[in-house]
């Protein structure tokens, strides 16, 4: 079974803090994704990575950065958390382009 693990299920952070969300997959997948999900807006792509150290901006990259130093780990960084970044964050990974993606359990982040 494919396993995609996100470091935290729930997280509460203060405005201005630097926040790290970690995602690890155990199946040697090439592609990894970070989405945020908000009511009425669906899943919006923040960043994706198509290989180690390779990344591409999605639809809403502002205020976020990513890091992929090892194939199995893809980190999302909120440089200075703001209240409008309160959301559900979902990580996904897939073997390669055109294959199905598998999701982690999600991190519900609240910025106060």
Tokens of 27: 């199946």
Q: How far is the CB of 56 from another protein (least distance, A)?
A: 4
> Please, what sign has the CA dihedral across residues 41, 103, 30, 80?
positive
> Please, what sign has the CA dihedral across residues 64, 109, 6, 33?
negative
* Binding flags for another protein, 73-102, as an x/- string (CB under 8 A): -----------------x-x-x-xxxxxxx
Burial of 33-54, coded b for 16+ CB within 10 Å and e otherwise, reads bbbbeeeeeeeebbbbbeeeee
Site for another protein in 39-78 (CB under 8 A): 40-43, 45, 48, 50-51, 54, 56, 58
Judged by CB under 8 A, the number of residues near another protein is 28
Binding site for another protein (CB under 8 A): 31, 33, 35, 40-43, 45, 48, 50-51, 54, 56, 58, 90, 92, 94, 96-106
């Amino acid at each position: 079974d494919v396993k995609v693990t996100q470091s935290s299920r729930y997280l509460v952070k203060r405005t201005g803090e630097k926040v790290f969300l970690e995602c690890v997959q155990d199946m040697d997948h090439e592609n990894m994704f970070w989405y945020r999900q908000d009511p009425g807006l669906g899943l919006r792509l923040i960043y994706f990575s198509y290989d180690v150290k390779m990344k591409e901006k999605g639809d809403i990259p502002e205020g976020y950065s990513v890091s992929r130093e090892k194939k199995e780990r893809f980190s999302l960084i909120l440089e200075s958390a703001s209240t409008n970044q309160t959301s559900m964050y979902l990580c996904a990974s897939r073997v390669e382009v055109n294959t199905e993606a598998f999701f982690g359990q999600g991190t519900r982040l609240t910025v106060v």
